[in-house]
Amino acid sequence: MRGIVKHFPGVRALDGIDLEVAAGEVHCLLGQNGAGKSTLIKVLAGAHQPDAGTILWRGEAVRLPRPQSALDHGIATLYQELDLVDGLTVAENIHLGHEKARLGLLSRAAMNDAASALLRRLGHPELSPAREVGRLPAAGRQIVSLARALSYDARLIVMDEPSAVLGQEEVGRLFSVIGDLAAQGIALVYISHRLEEIRRIGDRITVLKDGRTVASGLPVDATPAAEVIRLMTGRSLTHVFPPRAAPGGDSAATGAPAEPVLRVEGLTRRGEFRDVSFDVRPGEILGLAGLVGSGRSEILETVYGARRPSSGTVRVAGRRLRPGRVGAAMAAGVGFCPEERKSQALLRNDPVYRNVSLPSLSRFARAGFLDAERERRAAAEHTAALDVRPAGVDRPVGTLSGGNQQKVVLARWLLRECRVLLLDEPTRGVDVGARAEIYALIRELAGRDIAVVVVSSEIEEVIGLSDRVLVISEGRIVSEAAAEAIDEHRVLDLVMEGDVA
C-alpha cells in the first residue's frame, strides 16, 4: 500500500500511509487508538475506498471496490468483533457466501468434509463441523474465522486484536496456528496493543501515528519496546504503572486500619466459583488474577448483582446487599465497568453526556422530564476531569477511541459518586499510551478513598496496578499476597497447581 489517503467529513483519517508485507511474514501494525489502523485495514479489505494512493497485490495495481473483491484476490480480514452467525454450524459459517452445492442443491456433506480438512490444517481436528458456532468458546470462534479465510485460499490474512478475548493458554495455541500459516507462505498483518505479543510472533513492525506512517518495516528483534512506545505516542514513558500509594485506609485519628468498605463472605455460584471471601478498604486496589474461565469475571458480576449467588453475602459499608439486584448494589454505591464495554456498557449511538449520566438520570429529572442541559454540564465537568478527547459531550460515544470510551465509563461512576468500583478488563483494546493514562486515573480514584477491584487477563497488569492480589483457579481463591511480594511466574504456578494457600 503506497500513499494511501482517506478523508471522512472534517477528518483526514489517512495521510499518505505506506505498508509493505512479504509472503510468509507476520507484520505487526501498531499505533494508538485513532492512529488510522482500522481505517487502513478496511481499505485493504475493500470496505472503504481510498481517496488517493495505490494498492499493489503481487506486483500489480488492484482496485478493491467491495469486500468480496478483496476475498477474490486472497485478502481476508478478521475483525476484532468476529462476523460469525451464532445460529449456523461451523461448516456453514466457514462457507457462508460461497456454499458448496451439487446439482443445484446445498451439499452439507461436501461442506462438512471441506471444513474438516481446513480445521485439520489449522491443527484443530477436534472442532466438529456440525457444531453450532454460538456454543463455541472464544478460541474456537477464532479458529472458525481463520478457517473461513483459508476457504477463500487467502494469501494475506489481517488479524485485528485476535487475542483480546483469549486466555494465555488459548493465545499460545493461536500463536502456534499463526506460525504454521506463516510457514506455509501466508502473509499475516497482526494488530495488537500488547507489545509482549509482538515480541513473541512478529517479524517486522509498521507504526502509525495521526494517520501517517512514522516507521515502516522495523525488525522486531532489533527494535526496543521503549522505541516502539516512543514512536506510537510521540513521547517516552518512564513508567506505565503509577507508583503505589503509601499504605492507606488508616484512620487519621487512631492510626488503625479503616473498616473495609466492601466485604464478600462465602460467595458461591454453582458451576462457576465457590466459597469466595475477601474485603477491600477505602483507597485500596485489589486485583483478581486467573485464567479465562477461572470464575474471576463471574465473581465481579455477582458482587454487582448481575448474577445471583447460590450462597454467601456481599456487604458495602456494613450493609448487606440483596443478592442478584443491580439496583441494590448501585444504591449502596457500587459501580461496574464490564469486560465488553461496547455491548455491555455503552449506548454507542448516543451522545457522550447521556452515557455518562445513564445511572444517575433521576438526578436530572424535573416533573418527569430530563433536563438535558444539566446532564451536559455535569458530564462535561467529569469528562474534562478525566481528559476525555476530543472534548465535547454531544458527539456519539461510538466515535471515540477505545481509551476515551473507557474514560467515559469511569466518568459515569464519578458522577454517581460510587464507593466501590469493579473493573473487568479496564484496558482491553486500549493502546499503551492510553493505558498509562487509565492506570493513573484508577490510582487517582483510589486516592479519593474509592475501593477498587480489578480483573484482567494480563497478569502483569493485575500486579502492576494493584496493592493486593488474589489468585483464582477453578473458581477458588488459591492465594492472597501483597502485589510487590508476587510475580507473574508465581501467579501462573498457582493457577496451574491450584493449591489453596
pLDDT of residue 97: 86
Angle at the Cα of 44 from the Cα atoms of 38 and 49, rounded to 5 degrees: 90
pLDDT of residue 500: 47
Nearest to 229 by CA among 252, 254, 260, 205: 205
CATH fold, domain 2-233, is Rossmann fold (3.40.50)
Band (489; pLDDT cuts 50, 70, 90) = confident
Per-residue pLDDT for 116 more than 70?
yes
List Cβ neighbours of 172 (8 Å cut-off, separation of 6 or more): none
Query: How far are the Cα atoms of 117, 144, 187, 313, 406 from residue 294, in angstroms, in the given order?
Result: 32, 24, 34, 20, 24
Q: Percentage of the chain with pLDDT > 70?
A: 95
Query: How far are the Cα atoms of 89, 122, 142 from residue 136, in angstroms, in the given order?
Result: 10, 16, 10
pLDDT of residue 254: 47
pLDDT in tens, 324-356: 999 999 999 999 999 888 778 899 899 999 999
**Extended strands (E) in 140-272:** 156-160, 187-191, 204-209, 212-219, 262-269
**Average model confidence (pLDDT) across the chain:** 89
Per-residue pLDDT for 137 more than 60?
yes
Would you tell me which CATH number, out of the four given (3.40.1410.10, 3.40.50.10860, 3.40.50.2000, 3.40.50.300), belongs to the domain 262-497?
A: 3.40.50.300
User: Where in the chain are the domains?
Assistant: 2-233, 262-497
Per-residue pLDDT for 53 more than 70?
yes
pLDDT in tens, 259-306: 999 999 999 999 999 999 999 999 999 999 987 778 999 999 999 999
Which one has a higher pLDDT value, 53 or 496? 53
Q: Are the folds of 2-233 and 262-497 the same?
A: yes
